[in-house]
Amino acid sequence: MGFYQGDIIKIAGFKYRFLIISKNAFVSKLGMFHVCPVLANLKDGPLHIRIKGADGKEGVAVCEQIKLIDPNVRNCSKVDRITYDQIMNIADAIQGIFEYD
């Protein structure tokens, strides 16, 4: 399929980009992936994490806005990628949403 955790993608019909947050095993097994939007003009925060792609473009991953995407239904294209340390930071923030009190 060619999509991996940490890829920044465009989805037809949306002006902003999205970050793939699902583990590669999930993507490989189901052929789908979870994404969160990457917005350009948003303030950083606990669930709004600034990222920088390999191409140098920056944005803020909105970690509480998780969506499941089927790339066979949506027209998706890979446009960039973030580093592994950024992936770990995003994964930690998302995991924190679901931890018990």
pLDDT per residue as tens digits for the range 15-66: 999 999 999 999 999 999 999 999 998 999 999 999 999 999 999 999 999 9
**pLDDT recorded at residue 75:** 94
Mean pLDDT along residues 9-17: 96
- Return the structure tokens found at 54: 């390999």
Burial class (CB in 10 A: 0-12, 13-18, 19+), 59: buried
Mean pLDDT along residues 1-11: 94
Enumerate the domain spans of the chain: 7-98
Per-residue confidence band for 101, with pLDDT thresholds at 50, 70 and 90: confident
Pairing assessment for the beta strands 76-81 and 7-11 based on DSSP bridges: antiparallel
Above 70 in pLDDT, residue 95? Answer: yes
Above 80 in pLDDT, residue 1? Answer: no
**pLDDT recorded at residue 99:** 85
Please state which architecture CATH assigns to domain 7-98: Roll (2.30)
